[in-house]
Structure formats: C-alpha cells, structure tokens
Amino acid sequence: MTPFDRPPVGMNLARTAKLVAQAFDAALVEAGGTLPIWLTLLSIKSRELANQRELAGMIGIQGATLTHHLNAMEAQGLLARRRDPDNRRVHQVALTEAGEAMFLKLRNAALAFDKRLRAGLPDERLAEFAEVLAALRANVEMPSFGRLLPAFPGDKNDIPARSRKPARNVKS
C-alpha cells in the first residue's frame, strides 16, 4: 500500500470543500444571487450599519474588492451607503427594502442547501465532524504548521506521477 492509495486528509478535504462551495454557489445563483452578495447581505444584516472596513473584515476580502461588490449591489438597489457623521471618510452600509427581500430569498436557498447537504447524517456524526474540522483548523493555526508548509512535498517523488505537470519547452 502506497501513501497515495488513499488521498491524504488535506487533499480530500480540499477537493470536498471545493465541490461543496461550487454547489453552494450554484444554489445561490439559482436563487438570484451569488456568494459575495450572500456574504455581504448576511454580514450587513448581522450588524446594522457596519462600515465598509468592518464589513470587508467580516467577509474576509480586501477593501477594494468589497467596494466593487458594494457598487454593484447599490446599483441593483440592494443597499444604501452614507457617510458616517462622525468620520466623513467612513461609509456606513445598510440594506434597502430590496436588499432585505434578497437576504430572505438567499437565506432560504442557503437553509435548503444545508438541509440537502446534511441529508442522511445523524446529529451525532455532524457534531463529531464539527469537532474534527475544529481540530484541523487548530492544527493549521499552530505556529509550527507554517514551518512545515515549504517542506511539502519535500521531494518530487512525493507527488504521484499523474499529478506532476510536464516541463514546458521555453524558447530562449
């Protein structure tokens, strides 16, 4: 048995996370939204009149990327921005009536997706899975983990042949 007869946990997790994320995004698109819209609406809804800097931090994106999303969402009538009276450089963001309606529509899509995703899994297994994910996250957050990253894979023979890319012929 070689180490690659069964995919490493990280590889399996990455593939599964990508597939689930794509399916979730498709469910949001089907409901008339996107993942960035959902995350933005959810973040605004959970914290009324959040400023743009706080909102970018909650969503986990850069300020410039958030500005792009907010401009599009404002043009769609989903949110309104106004200057903070105490700091004119800061914009506060709030949902409009259309934004509230889109939030409810996407929330229903997210809940339906979650229900389909959990189908057939007993609560005990889901609780155990949440604990495993938390442990994996904690392992990655350990300072010693960062020192290991450059060492993997340590040798080209650690990578299965089918996943190695052939060298490109570059003309000089």
pLDDT, position 165: 46
How many CB atoms are closer than 10 A to CB 100? 15
Residue 118 has pLDDT above 90, yes or no: yes
pLDDT, tens digit, for every residue of 13-22?
999 999 999 9
Mean pLDDT of 64-86: 88
Model pTM score: 0.71
Q: What share of the chain is helix, strand, coil (3-state, %, to 5)?
A: 65, 10, 25
CATH 1.10.10.10 for the 9-140 domain, yes or no: yes
pLDDT, position 28: 96
Token code pair at residue 74: 């404002």
Identify whether the C-beta of residue 73 lies closer than 8 Å to the C-beta of residue 59.
no
pLDDT, tens digit, for every residue of 44-70?
888 765 677 777 877 778 878 888 888
Return the minimum-mean-pLDDT range out of 31-45, 63-77, 119-133, 152-166.
152-166
Angle at 93 between CA 89 and CA 98, to 5 degrees: 150
The 79-84 sheet, strands edge to edge = 50-51, 87-95, 79-84
Cα 55 to Cα 41: distance, rounded to the nearest angstrom: 10
